[in-house]
Amino acid sequence: NSFCIRMQKQDTGLGKRRGPHHIKKGEKDMNILKLKNPIKINGREVAELNYDENEITAEAFIDAECRKFAEGRKKGGLTAAAIELDYSMQLQLGFAAILAVNPAIDYNDLLRIKGADLIAVSRIGRNFTMPSASEEEPMDSEASRSENV
């Protein structure tokens, strides 16, 4: 994908969020991923990672897709036709949800996640791409009529 190649050549800092780190999301605590296999980040062992899939921006989404394509090309892998079946993309989106609220963590730190923790990160991405029926907002009939005009 030529767009991804252009993005990689630019020093955009994608995957590293700049800005304040917040622990609260409104009035409730942020989601926490408890790692079964702690990882080293900046010289310290980390057993929990905050994440928020609602903080995944368009830029982070595109970056996740570019990383997925780049990793797939290196490994000679194929890509899934639908995002709901694309496990690599789900993993990358899970990473994006973690990076979105952890500015001190680098993408390469997350590559040390292993075992069942990888599946847990993938679930974050899967839940982002496939919300349950109760989470999906119903279409407002008046709004949908005005969009079709």
Residues 124-129: what's their mean pLDDT? Answer: 93
Q: List, in sequence order, every beta strand (DSSP E) within the chain.
A: 24-25, 28-29, 31-41, 44-51
Residue 138's pLDDT is what?
A: 53
Residue 71's pLDDT is what?
A: 77
Residue 11's pLDDT is what?
A: 39
Residue 38's pLDDT is what?
A: 97
Interatomic CA distance for residues 40 and 110, integer angstroms:
9
Q: Look at residues 15, 26, 87 and name the one whose alpha carbon lies nearest to residue 56.
A: 15
